[in-house]
């Protein structure tokens, strides 16, 4: 159990391509506080959740309609002792056809119960993967809203 990566799976009545395109539209389901690009191989983007979470992702694998992998190249989580717990981990989106529907399995490889942030981060991911599910189904997710800087 201690080595088990955080993972969530859901099935939708959409095409694999629609699911893939939704994942790429990070501002519509995760956070509007994004800088960079999140569509193509080697794209990089940064996200911020106030002063609590910062992370930089690089798209290390992109197979349209099938799979997308974000390598987290930098992170700062201010609510745990090791602010860089996420650095070097990967978020993996696996898309497959199941019974005329599309299944999405999200796995944060490296986010295990050994991490101090596991409970908080897994709760956060559950919320945002549900937001992604809602975005795919209805066209409207529940991302963290943009914070305007003065």
Mean pLDDT by 10 residues, the chain (150 residues): 85 97 97 95 96 96 98 96 96 96 98 94 96 98 76
DSSP string, 100-143: TEEEEEEEEET--TTSTTHHHHHHHHHHHHHHHHHHHHHS---P
Q: What is the pLDDT of residue 150?
A: 44
Q: State whether the Cα torsion 40-66-139-6 is positive or negative.
A: negative
Q: What is the pLDDT of residue 149?
A: 53
Q: What is the pLDDT of residue 57?
A: 98
Q: Domain segments of the chain: what residues?
A: 6-138
Q: What is the pLDDT of residue 148?
A: 54
Superfamily of domain 6-138: START domain (3.30.530.20)
């Amino acid at each position: 159990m201690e080595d088990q990566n955080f993972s969530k799976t859901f099935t939708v009545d959409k095409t694999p391509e629609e699911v893939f395109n939704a994942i790429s539209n990070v501002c519509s389901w995760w956070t509007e506080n994004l800088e960079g690009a999140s569509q193509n191989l080697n794209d990089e983007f940064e996200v911020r959740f106030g002063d609590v979470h910062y992370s930089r992702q690089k798209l290390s694998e992109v197979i349209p309609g099938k799979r997308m992998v974000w390598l987290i190249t930098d992170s700062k989580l201010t609510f745990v002792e090791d602010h860089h717990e996420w650095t070097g981990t990967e978020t993996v989106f696996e898309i497959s056809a199941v019974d005329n529907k599309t299944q999405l399995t999200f796995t944060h490889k490296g986010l295990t119960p050994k991490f101090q942030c596991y409970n908080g981060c897994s709760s956060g991911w559950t919320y945002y993967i549900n937001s992604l599910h809602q975005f795919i189904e209805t066209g409207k997710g529940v991302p963290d809203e943009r914070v305007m800087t003065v």
